Amino acid sequence: MPWMDWCRPDFSIDAPLGWLKNQPLDWEQGINYQFLIIDSKSQQFMGGCGINYINQFYLLANLGYWVRSDRHGEGIATEATKLIALFGFQQLGLRRIEIVAGEENWASRRVAEKTGAAFEGILKKRLKIGNKNIDAAMHSLILEDLA
C-alpha cells in the first residue's frame, strides 16, 4: 500500500472497473499493456503487471508489478515480470525495459534483481507518491538478461 497511490483503505470496485474499460483502447494505441495475474490452479486473482510509458524512438518502456499482500513471498511477481518482459521484447520490439521502485521498496527491488535486471543507481525525486516526490532505484532489463 505505501508504494501505490491507488491502493488505499477506501479503495472500491469502481476504480478498477473504470481502469479496465480503458485497456482495449490503450492496447490498440500501443501505449499501455496491462495484465492480470491469475493463479492457474485456483483461478484466484493475485495481482497485476504491465508495460507503460513506452518510448517508440528509443524502444524502451517501464515495467511495473504488484501482488496482493496475502500472496507475497511466492515468487509471483518475479515470474510475471519475466513473462511480461519477454512480451515487451518479443511482441513490442523493445530493446530496454526499466523497473523503477522506491529506494526503500525492498520487496520490489528484490523482484527486479531476481529477474536479472541490472541496478543502475538511485534517481533523486523520481517517483511521486501522493504529494511527495521520493528517490527511486533504477533497474534495467535487456533481452540477454533473461537468458
Residue 53 in grid coordinates: 510509458
pLDDT digits (tens, 9 = 90+) for 33-72: 988 888 888 888 888 899 999 999 999 999 999 887 788 8
The model's pTM: 0.84
Q: What Å distances lie between residue 11 and 7, 14, 17, 19, 70, CA to CA?
A: 6, 8, 12, 13, 17
How many CA atoms lie within 13 Å of 117's alpha carbon, on the beta-carbon side?
30
Which pLDDT score, from 0 to 100, does residue 27 have? 80
For residue 80, CA distances in Å to 10, 54, 84, 95 come to: 27, 19, 6, 19
State which CATH number among 3.30.70.260, 3.30.70.100, 3.40.640.10, 3.40.630.30 fits the domain covering 14-146: 3.40.630.30
Mode of pairing for the β-strands spanning 32-38 and 96-102: unpaired
